Amino acid sequence: MSLGASVAVGVYQKANLIKPALVLSLACNAAAIYVFGISENFYYDATIRFFIGFFQVFVVIFMPVWVDAFANEKQKTIWLTFLILASPLGIVFGYIITSIYIA
């Protein structure tokens, strides 16, 4: 993820590349997740996991900036809290869904 962060910072410093970078990273992330889901090779999976993390960095870095720029002053704290909670809650819900699916 640190490699993706270095690339994302360089891309985001150019104002005209923000939207194309987000669209491209989301499309590449979706493709990488799809390939990860159908792959059966452990070493191939590790490589795909690298790309999933690399492309997710673009959104993770941009979202707090977007909330700070466009959210209503009264709602900034709530939206930033949702962003902070999204990752741990996603992990917990993923474990719950997996336990139900496997059982």
pLDDT tens track of the chain, all 103 residues? 678 888 888 888 887 888 899 999 999 999 999 999 898 888 888 899 999 999 999 988 888 888 888 888 889 999 999 988 988 999 999 999 999 988 6
Q: What pLDDT, on the 0 to 100 scale, is given for residue 1? A: 66
| 40 and 86 housed in the same domain | no
Q: pTM value?
A: 0.75
57 and 75 assigned to the same domain: no
Query: Do 40 and 76 belong together in one domain?
Result: no
The structural domain count of the chain equals 2
d(CA 47, CA 44): 5
Q: Sign of the CA dihedral 63, 22, 56, 33?
A: positive
**Is residue 66 in a domain?**
no
What is the predicted pLDDT for the residue at 25? 94
Distance between CA 63 and CA 84 in Å, rounded? 10
Residue 51 domain boundaries: 1-61
How many angstroms separate the CA atoms of 30 and 50, rounded? 13
- Asked if 2 and 45 sit in the same domain, the reply is yes
Q: So what's the pLDDT on residue 2? A: 79
In contact, 51 and 28? CB cutoff 8 Å? yes
